[in-house]
Structure 1
Amino acid sequence: MKKYYIALLLLTCFAGAYAQEAEKTEEVAFQAGEQITYKLKYGIFSAAETTIKVENSEQKFFGKPALRIHAVANTLGTFNLLFKVRNQYQTFIDPHTLLPYYYSEERKEGGYKHADKVTFDHTTGTISANSGKYPYSGNVFDFLSAYYFARNVDVSGLKINDKLDMRYFLEDGIHTLTITYLGKEQVKCGLGTFNCLKFNPTIIPGRIFRKNSKLYLWITDDKNRIPVKAHVELIVGSLVMDLTQASGLKYALNPVKK
């Protein structure tokens, strides 16, 4: 498998929900103390698990308070023998604007290792990373801050087949992800069945994805706006990311009653 595949899948599944051009809702959808866990399955086999935590940070940035979001992604079982992954990511965001101040990652994927530290200076419009400095304007995110910002975007005006763009920084540049809204649908995950909004983020074909591979993402149609499931087609088989645990949520989850 191509190196970075866990990071790229997390990026498309977590960040690929809404566009940064849309307006953010006034009320924030999450709070410190939230913890959610996803399991990644290849066919019937559990391949990896990711846990994301939100907490108040004692560290300030540019003299302002911040929330720390920390994610850990590890392969499971026999996949540790095939392609062992031990990745950690963290981002510090403004609790009101939800824009990132600082992002870091430590990735160990098979024999590949990578670490990065990224600072977002919104005053000068400069991103500073290990690979250099990058000017920007408007909203640009790392994948973790993109995920949490996306959960707070007003989607009430979306129509089926509307296309949205979101910009994110990854490793050595600013990239754009295009997402198509496909409507509403009920979907089952590890925590029950939920009324969801369905999206189709674009993916780039290569050593993992076919030319016509599709990625589908389902987000709860409630105040939490949590991604509960993602399904992506690979050159061989498919991967499913499934929500298996959620605690410390600002709003109670409301699965569909049968």
Structure 2
Amino acid sequence: MTLALSSSLAAQQKDEVTTIPFSKTPYQVGEHLTYHVSFSSFVDAAHVELLVAERGTFFTRDGFQLRARVETTGVVNAALYSINNDYISYIDPQTGIPYRTQQVIREAGRTSDTSSEYNQPVGTAAIPPKLRLGEFPGTYDLVSALYRLRALPLVDGAKYYFNVRSDLDQYGAELRVTGRELIKTNVGSFNTIATEVRVPNNSEANSYRIHIYFSDDERHVPVLITAHQRSGDIRAELAGTEFITPPQTPTPTPTPTPTVTATPVKTPTGPPKAGEQPFPPELPFKAGEQLNFTVFLANSPQSVATASFQVRPRAKYFNRDGILLTVKAQTLASLSRLFFANDQINSYVDPNTLLPFRTELNLIEGKRRTQQTLTIDQDRGNAATDKGANIEIPVGTHDYVSVLYALRLFNLTPSNNSSTSRQNAVTILVNNRPLTLKITSLKRETIQLGTQRVAAIQLSLTTDDPQPDKYGLRLWVSDDSRHLPLRVTAITQLGPVRADLAIIPTNQQ
């Protein structure tokens, strides 16, 4: 999204005086927007985050701090182009004009950390004497430019002109309001103001044909951004909008030696609006929890794959109150030559029961490809596929992802009676067929995760298949109220596989 906007800017001239309204609504501290980016035939190409981080005094000036992050994912990240960039813009709160920017660029093995002083005048002194109709003053970086566009009135048929600086080059562009459109995304349907970015004096940049669809309200949230490249179309779709509490500076206190190590976790992502509903208090996880696993073959110390589980905030999904649970797993280069996998599963669950009402699967495993969406009616015991097929299921059926979060609520304490094991059972949909999954608490033990020793409960996962323990599935969860998944082992065609939790949070997320 940011790269596409960068490519579309070119120079303009000034000839008329005008004053463009400036709305402060888009600059609400804590506003956090996340975007899912697809490119060409790659459904999962990148992830973009925008955040109004805080207001304060920065470099001796009052200002807002705006942050953006762009990160490629999946096959695009592994095989085409690896990007993990951070952008910070410090802007004047009265005009939206930046006075300092910082960039940390990590692209294809190259890392650079740069900052730029914009040295622009403040307030009304920043307005030059001559501006053409529709032009607003100042020179913007890419992040501040997007927010300044949101602060425009976006009147039907209007044209707005602006100047942007990227690296050492300064450009200009025009934004044209073309009409109104209803845009449907995974987080709901939006009435939007349709706009397009043009670069009249630069045919190459103009060929990107960027369109931005802003929500038709005072916030003017970019719901969808599209652009065209020779190698394929880019589509950045809103995946989440929330308001997060700015971090507070902690008071230093003596800290005992921890039994586990806390490391930073990615900024929570998800689509709740302002005033989002909280999670039910009995759930052992919160929005923003991210569990990253490293996968090993047999006893080899070399990792062969990664998997990431994320909990998105509670919000409206497909006109239902829900929580989005996501899993992304992919093989690394060390295994990809032998077996390539790149899986993504989205599970939309009821906040109170954790039963799924929609499951999206995009699985690439060797030569096998699965792309399927299931709409699940738990009341009627039916799962409908996107191909029109109906699957009869028992009421209370889980999918691959929801079951891992639901079992964290179970009583998993091993039985004191050695002749009787504690067992929980649920129904899970596997390859369009409901199976009974039996979760048996085996024993308490302490396991080694990297340099850490963690108290755990070992569970066996079996089904009602003729070979119930065919894959030898074992799961270790933390021996506390959170029941964090710590380790999974299984027997596969490639041999024994072990997945270990790489980051163990000390507090509930």
TM over 0.5: yes
Q: Which has the larger radius of gyration?
A: 2
> 1:245 — aligned with what?
240
Residue 106 (str. 1) matches residue 104 (str. 2): yes
Residue 41 (str. 1) matches residue 44 (str. 2): no
Q: Distance in 2 between matches of 1:213 and 1:57?
A: 34
TM-score by length of 2: 0.40
Residue 233 (str. 1) matches residue 232 (str. 2): no
Q: Secondary structure at the match of 1:102?
A: strand
How much has 1:26 moved relative to structure 2?
4.9
How much has 1:224 moved relative to structure 2?
0.9
> 1:151 — aligned with what?
150
Q: Secondary structure at the match of 1:148?
A: helix
**Structure 2 vs 1, CA of residues 213 and 35 (structure 1 numbering), >3 Å: closer, same or farther?**
closer
**Structure 2 vs 1, CA of residues 94 and 148 (structure 1 numbering), >3 Å: closer, same or farther?**
same
1:96-145 superposed Cα distances (whole Å, 9 cap, x missing partner): 2222121011112224444431112223999xxxxxxxxxx941111111
Return the letter of the residue paired with 1:98. Answer: G
TM-score by length of 1: 0.76
Q: Distance in 1 between matches of 2:183 and 2:168?
A: 36
How much has 1:188 moved relative to structure 2?
1.3
Equivalent pairs: percent with the same residue? 19
Q: Distance in 1 between matches of 2:275 and 2:22?
A: 15
Q: Distance in 2 between matches of 1:221 and 1:98?
A: 21
**Structure 2 vs 1, CA of residues 91 and 28 (structure 1 numbering), >3 Å: closer, same or farther?**
same
2:65 aligned to which of 45, 68, 71: 68
How much has 1:183 moved relative to structure 2?
0.9
**Structure 2 vs 1, CA of residues 10 and 176 (structure 1 numbering), >3 Å: closer, same or farther?**
closer
Do 1:191 and 1:243's aligned partners in 2 also have CA atoms closer than 8 Å? yes
Q: Distance in 2 between matches of 1:213 and 1:93?
A: 27
Q: Distance in 2 between matches of 1:39 and 1:70?
A: 17
RMSD value, Cα: 3.3
Q: Distance in 1 between matches of 2:232 and 2:220?
A: 28
> 1:215 — aligned with what?
210
How much has 1:254 moved relative to structure 2?
11
Residue 201 (str. 1) matches residue 184 (str. 2): no
1:163-210 superposed Cα distances (whole Å, 9 cap, x missing partner): 43210111112101123221111111232111111112136665xx8x
Return the letter of the residue paired with 1:192. Answer: G
**Structure 2 vs 1, CA of residues 251 and 64 (structure 1 numbering), >3 Å: closer, same or farther?**
farther
Residue 94 (str. 1) matches residue 92 (str. 2): yes
Q: Secondary structure at the match of 1:139?
A: strand
1:71-114 superposed Cα distances (whole Å, 9 cap, x missing partner): 11111112122211110100111222222121011112224444
Q: Distance in 1 between matches of 2:230 and 2:215?
A: 29
Stretches of structure 1 lacking an aligned partner (at least 5 in a row): 1-5, 14-20, 127-136
**Structure 2 vs 1, CA of residues 178 and 114 (structure 1 numbering), >3 Å: closer, same or farther?**
farther
Q: Secondary structure at the match of 2:175?
A: strand
Stretches of structure 2 lacking an aligned partner (at least 5 in a row): 9-17, 127-135, 244-272, 277-314, 320-509
Do 1:34 and 1:53's aligned partners in 2 also have CA atoms closer than 8 Å? yes
Do 2:2 and 2:143's aligned partners in 1 also have CA atoms closer than 8 Å? no
Alignment of 1:110-129 (within 5 A): 110-123=108-121
**Structure 2 vs 1, CA of residues 169 and 254 (structure 1 numbering), >3 Å: closer, same or farther?**
farther
Do 1:194 and 1:255's aligned partners in 2 also have CA atoms closer than 8 Å? no
The number of aligned residues is 229
Q: Distance in 2 between matches of 1:177 and 1:76?
A: 30
Say which structure, 1 or 2, has more relative contact order (CA 8 Å, 6+ apart).
1
> 1:132 — aligned with what?
none
Residue 166 (str. 1) matches residue 162 (str. 2): yes
Q: Distance in 1 between matches of 2:106 and 2:317?
A: 36
> 2:183 — aligned with what?
187
> 2:172 — aligned with what?
176
Do 1:94 and 1:100's aligned partners in 2 also have CA atoms closer than 8 Å? yes
> 2:53 — aligned with what?
55
Q: Secondary structure at the match of 2:35?
A: strand
